[in-house]
Amino acid sequence: MTSVGREPLQILLIEDNAGDVRLLRELLKPYGPNRYEVADRPSIQSALEHLLAARADIILLDLGLPDAAGLDAVRRMRTARPRLPLVVLTGMDDEDIALAALKEGAQDYLIKAGLDSRILGRTLRFAIGRHAAETPMAAAVDPLAEDTLNSIGDGLVCADLAGNVSFVNPAAEALTGWSWKDAAGRPMTEVLHVVDAGTRVSFRDTMDRAGAPRRVAQLHPNVVLIRRDGTDVPIEGSVAPLEGRDGRPAGKVLVFRDNSLARARVQQMAHSAQHDALTGLPNRVLLNDRINSAISIAPRHRKKVAVLFIDLDGFKQINDTIGHAIGDKLLQSVAARLLGCVRGSDTVSRLGGDEFVVLLSEVERPEDSAITARRMLEAVAETYSIDHHDLHVTASIGVAVCPDDGINAEALIKSADAAMYQAKENGRHGYQFYKPAMNLRAVERQEVEEGLRQALEREEFTLHFQPKVNLHTGESAGAEALLRWEHPTRGPMLPSLFVPVAEACGLIQQIGSWVMHEACRQAQTWVGAGLRLPSIAVNVSAVEFAGAHFLDGVFEALNDTGLDPRTLELELTESVLMKHAESTNSILQALNAGGVQMSIDDFGTGYSSLSYLRKFPIHTLKIDQSFVREITLAGNDASIVTTVLNMAQSLNLRVVAEGVETPEELAFLQLHRCDEAQGYYFSRPLPALQFARLLHDGIVPTMAARQYVRPLERPPARHASAS
Ligand code: C2E
Ligand code: MG
Ligand code: MG
């Protein structure tokens, strides 16, 4: 037998229209020169002459030739060359004639309008296959026909009227694993076991239907052939009825081929259109699909759908400082951990950057999604070991539940995103359920963010200064610098409105560095002018502290301005101490070694334990004003203040009470030997000029509190030695 595809197939094109000849040649071009060779002749007469001298494997016959019209052309060619497969070419209108041509013995017909390479190639191969299949079945096998049959690359299996295999070509032998010898006489459906690739349902019907006269049945686009050894291969092809020379049904033929490459390519393309290249997780496109279909299914099972929006805290820093390669690996590890927190029916997707969205498709109660959120927070926060780096990130998660927070994918993701921002504002490493007010806030936040980007260049920031008073001596203990933003349209803005936004969008580093320089510069100016200013306190946010250049920035500010480091005090929040304990400690030790003082701001509102305070070089605790406020009311908070004071004494820490507004509060604090106080009772935060005047004149409490000035001047003696 001839080896597969050894020589180009010889096509004799009988066509008088030069334009159509060009068209057909063009359509065959994509197959390359080794597949097909075309000879064209403009008439029956010239075609017959050509055939005397040259070989042809198939005839493509136009039905409007100068020397034979319509069916006459078919009859003449069939009579002259009965063993050559013949395909009729017609214009759109001649379809009736084309069908009649099939009755005359043509193997197939092609309508010129709308013809493409694929259809042309397929028709040629199938026509050859069908024609040749009739021949070996007949008593006399035309050697040329069998040669052709065996040379085509497609698999071809013929069956007789009873449905039993009568012929298998070499390509089909290779594809099915059945030799012609073994297959002969067996049911065609046994040799060609074709099933749907997904459902594995058998396609016997397609084969049976092909029994109808003149019906060519295409195989379903997604079928696989189960080979003799049980493995499977994706195929494409068609089943056609066979007719004997007498025109009566003789059986059927299946022409097919391996299309695993094409199908794999299609699958690959479909996959990459729907997945994130870095993590392999579904992307936004697929996620939207899944959310929407979960939304439509969940009510049937009386379940809810929840969407979790996850954003990593501190990822950008790692990416910027240690490098993108490690950042990428970190994202992959995070992806794997998130996957470990959900069920198989849930979807973990990556939207890009460090943003992930998780779909929980079957939630009993909304609270259940909180359990998953907590699990994810824990999983993400575990240490990562990547290329000899121990890395730490945490996550902030926003949760939105259908239908309350959105009835389609887009709305749910948006709500979860807004909730995630809130989780960031609440101090990160936490989760937050969506609340309707959040979207409004999201719009506001965006405006603020845009304004912040220009605030530095436009010099819209200033510092105000609020004095701290030494409760033992009544003298100035220093000042706290508080940031103010003069917004071009909104007017003065307090830090609580814009600092969280600056933290979230990364601008806090630049703003913080401006504050540090400005506070040191101003303090040094006052000291240089002979004013008494024992310390200047600067607030440092946790995000700022975690920045790569924070430490250098502090010493740079001190160097540039010439301020004595012992005058500078940094106010840190408890969350700074809670996070990344190792790096925190080394930064604090370096600051301490440089002479800088550290205090814990808003003490009591976080989670600081004694062990934290012992571990780090902290000098001062600032009791949050919420506790001070309650001093003169319930006994409970008063006891918090006294507890802090006692604890501070035992740890040798100085205590500053924040937000002191009334003489009663002051009296209580003095009674319990608090060291310093700060609050409206003494002075509101003031612009630099006014504060300088205050420093010069001395801090005098407001009129109503004059009576308490005296005890300030003569404080009760302390027995404890705490400094
Ligand atoms: P904080 O560090 O605890 O600052 C004390 C806040 O309490 C200030 O609010 C101050 O104006 C206010 N305050 C002082 N005495 C009283 C009082 O007697 N009664 C009441 N009700 N309030 C009093 P402000 O200026 O709005 O600052 C709020 C927070 O913003 C600060 O809290 C601090 O955490 C942050 N912040 C301020 N400036 C900066 C800055 O430059 N950088 C950073 N990262 N954060 C800053
Ligand atoms: Mg402060
Ligand atoms: Mg405070």
> To the nearest whole number, what is the mean pLDDT of the chain?
85
Residue 453: other Cβ atoms inside 10 A? 13
Domain membership of residue 340 (yes or no) is yes
Is the same domain home to 553 and 618? yes
What pLDDT sits at residue 227? 93
Q: Which of 456, 463, 482 to mutate to test the pocket of ligand 1 (most atoms within 8 A of CB)?
A: 482
Residues having C-beta closer than 5 Å to ion ligand 3:
601-602, 658
Of 572, 476, 555, the residue nearest 516 (C-alpha): 555
Cα–Cα distance measured from residue 586 to residue 608, given in angstroms and rounded to the nearest whole number: 18
Contacts of 268 (CB under 8 A, 6+ apart): none
Question: Does the Cβ of 499 fall within 6 Å of ligand 1?
Answer: yes
What pLDDT sits at residue 691? 95
Rounded mean pLDDT of 133-142?
Answer: 46
Domain membership of residue 446 (yes or no) is no
Domain membership of residue 448 (yes or no) is no
Query: What is the DSSP secondary-structure string of 226-273?
Result: EPTTS-EEEEEEEEEEEE-TTSSEEEEEEEEEE-HHHHHHHHHHHHHH
Q: Which of 507, 539, 628, 680 to mutate to test the pocket of ligand 1 (most atoms within 8 A of CB)?
A: 539
Confidence of residue 441 (pLDDT cuts 50, 70, 90): low
Nearest CA to ligand 1 atom 11: 685
What pLDDT sits at residue 684? 93
Domain membership of residue 445 (yes or no) is no
Length of the chain: 723
Q: pLDDT of 542-588, one tens digit each?
A: 889 988 899 999 999 999 999 999 999 999 988 787 766 678 899 99
Q: What share of the chain is helix, strand, coil (3-state, %, to 5)?
A: 45, 25, 30
Q: pLDDT of 279-308, one tens digit each?
A: 999 999 999 999 999 999 888 888 899 999
CATH number at residue 180: 3.30.450.20
pLDDT, greater one: 20 or 209: 20
Q: What is the CA radius of gyration of the chain?
A: 43
Domain-ending residue, one of 225, 240, 274: 274
The answer to whether the CB of 715 falls within 8 A of the CB of 709 is no
Confidence of residue 58 (pLDDT cuts 50, 70, 90): very high
Q: Which atom, in ligand 1's list, is nearest to the CA of 681?
A: 18
What pLDDT sits at residue 644? 86
What pLDDT sits at residue 377? 95
CA distances to 200, 391, 581 from 383, rounded to whole Å, are: 45, 6, 12
Domain membership of residue 325 (yes or no) is yes
Is the same domain home to 422 and 484? no
Q: pLDDT of 407-424, one tens digit each?
A: 899 999 999 999 999 899
What pLDDT sits at residue 350? 96
Is the same domain home to 379 and 426? yes
What pLDDT sits at residue 126? 84
Of 14, 107, 24, the residue nearest 62 (C-alpha): 14
What pLDDT sits at residue 154? 85
Tell me the torsion sign for CA atoms 433, 435, 440, 445: negative
H or E stretch covering 168: strand 165-168
Is the same domain home to 428 and 312? yes
Domain membership of residue 663 (yes or no) is yes
Q: How far apart are the two ends of the chain, measured CA to CA in Å?
A: 104
Is the same domain home to 377 and 335? yes
451 token code pair: 């304004």
Question: Does the Cβ of 515 fall within 6 Å of ligand 1?
Answer: yes
CA distances to 66, 95, 120, 373 from 113, rounded to whole Å, are: 21, 12, 12, 60
Is the same domain home to 325 and 403? yes
Is the same domain home to 495 and 389? no
Question: Does the Cβ of 291 fall within 6 Å of ligand 1?
Answer: no
Is the same domain home to 417 and 471? no
The answer to which of 140-149, 292-301, 329-338, 363-372 has the lowest mean pLDDT is 140-149
Domain-ending residue, one of 132, 160, 183: 132
What pLDDT sits at residue 719? 41
Cα–Cα distance measured from residue 375 to residue 389, given in angstroms and rounded to the nearest whole number: 24
What pLDDT sits at residue 132? 64
pLDDT, greater one: 642 or 94: 642
HSE-up of 249 (CA within 13 Å, CB side)? Answer: 16
Query: Which letter, b or e, does each residue of 265-291 get, where b requires 16 or more Cβ atoms within 10 Å of its Cβ?
Result: eeeeeeeeebbbeebebbbbebbbebb
Rounded mean pLDDT of 649-671?
Answer: 91
Is the same domain home to 122 and 148? no
Is the same domain home to 114 and 176? no
Domain membership of residue 630 (yes or no) is yes
Cα–Cα distance measured from residue 575 to residue 366, given in angstroms and rounded to the nearest whole number: 29
Is the same domain home to 377 and 417? yes
The answer to whether the CB of 303 falls within 8 A of the CB of 362 is yes
The answer to whether the CB of 196 falls within 8 A of the CB of 164 is no
Ligand 1 geometric centre to CA of 659 (Å) = 9
Cis amide leading into 534 (omega within 30): no
What pLDDT sits at residue 208? 62
CATH number at residue 584: 3.20.20.450
Contacts of 235 (CB under 8 A, 6+ apart): 155, 175, 194, 219, 223, 224, 225, 256, 257, 258, 259
Q: pLDDT of 224-235, one tens digit each?
A: 999 999 999 999
Q: Is 572 exposed, middle or buried (0-12, 13-18, 19+ CB in 10 A)?
A: buried
The DSSP letter of residue 676 is: E
Cα angle 207-248-225, degrees, rounded to a multiple of 5 = 15
Residue with tokens 């994706």: 234
**Sheet strands (E) in 75-142:** 86-90, 108-111
What pLDDT sits at residue 139? 33
Confidence of residue 607 (pLDDT cuts 50, 70, 90): low
What pLDDT sits at residue 594? 96
Q: pLDDT of 491-535, one tens digit each?
A: 888 898 899 889 878 899 999 999 999 999 999 999 999 999 999
Residues having C-beta closer than 5 Å to ion ligand 2:
539, 571, 601
Question: Given the DSSP bridges, would you call strands 86-90 and 217-218 parallel, antiparallel or unpaired?
Answer: unpaired
Tell me the torsion sign for CA atoms 665, 669, 670, 672: positive
- Rounded to 5 degrees, what are φ and ψ at 54? -130, 160
Ligand 2 geometric centre to CA of 300 (Å) = 53
What pLDDT sits at residue 547? 87
Report whether pLDDT(95) > 80: no
What pLDDT sits at residue 576? 82
Is the same domain home to 103 and 162? no
Report whether pLDDT(714) > 90: no
Question: Does the Cβ of 466 fall within 6 Å of ligand 1?
Answer: yes
Q: Which atom, in ligand 1's list, is nearest to the CA of 540?
A: 44
Report whether pLDDT(334) > 90: yes
Cα–Cα distance measured from residue 399 to residue 294, given in angstroms and rounded to the nearest whole number: 16
Q: How many domains does the chain have?
A: 4
Domain of residue 648 covers 460-706
CA distances to 237, 306, 341 from 371, rounded to whole Å, are: 52, 12, 10
Domain membership of residue 177 (yes or no) is yes
What pLDDT sits at residue 333? 97
The answer to whether the CB of 480 falls within 8 A of the CB of 506 is no
Cα–Cα distance measured from residue 107 to residue 85, given in angstroms and rounded to the nearest whole number: 6
718 token code pair: 């302390």
The DSSP letter of residue 31 is: G
Rounded mean pLDDT of 702-706?
Answer: 41
Report whether pLDDT(593) > 60: yes
Q: Which atom, in ligand 1's list, is nearest to the CA of 685?
A: 11
**Sheet strands (E) in 511-604:** 536-539, 568-572, 597-603
* % of the chain residues with pLDDT over 70: 88
CATH number at residue 38: 3.40.50.2300
Domain-ending residue, one of 243, 274, 305: 274
CATH number at residue 418: 3.30.70.270
Contacts of 52 (CB under 8 A, 6+ apart): none
What pLDDT sits at residue 464? 97
